[in-house]
Amino acid sequence: MIEWIRFWITAVILFCGILAFILEVAGLFRLGFVMNRMHASGIGDSFGLGCVVFAMIISSGLNLDSLKLFLLILFMWLTSPVSTHFLSRIEVNTNPFIARYVRFGTDYGKK
């Protein structure tokens, strides 16, 4: 009985993660600008991976494997915003038509 409860909790959280990935791919095709697509990518990178790996933690129980999976969640949550910020910085600096999409403040670039 306790195994079935664990199975259904795993199934529900895994379904949430898969739904986040489907939303991510849908947003990748629906949105029209690169930074909006970066937002859609951030949904899957944080929520989707967190849900899927947390479902695997519940499925495996409390052992060394679940500790490694927890470290995987921690690592991805720390490094995914860094890479997204890096890409958005390149986009702002290289797109010559950036002013069509993004409104900068009047004191942008001043200290």
Q: Which parts of this chain interact with another protein (CB under 8 A)? A: 3-4, 7, 10-11, 14, 17-18, 21-22, 24-25, 28-29, 32-34, 37-38, 41, 44-45, 48-49, 52-53, 56, 59-60, 64-65, 68-69, 71-72, 75-76, 79-80, 82-84, 86-87, 90-91, 93-99, 104, 108-109
22: number of CA atoms within 13 Å, CB side?
6
Question: How near is the Cβ of 52 to another protein at its closest, in Å?
Answer: 4
CA dihedral over 93, 96, 97, 99, signed as positive or negative: positive
Residue-by-residue DSSP string for 24-64: HHHHHHH--SHHHHHHHHHHIIIIIHHHHHHHHHHHH-SSH
Question: How near is the Cβ of 34 to another protein at its closest, in Å?
Answer: 5
CA dihedral over 71, 77, 78, 79, signed as positive or negative: positive
Closest to another protein by CB, 7 or 62: 7
Question: How near is the Cβ of 65 to another protein at its closest, in Å?
Answer: 5
Question: How near is the Cβ of 1 to another protein at its closest, in Å?
Answer: 10
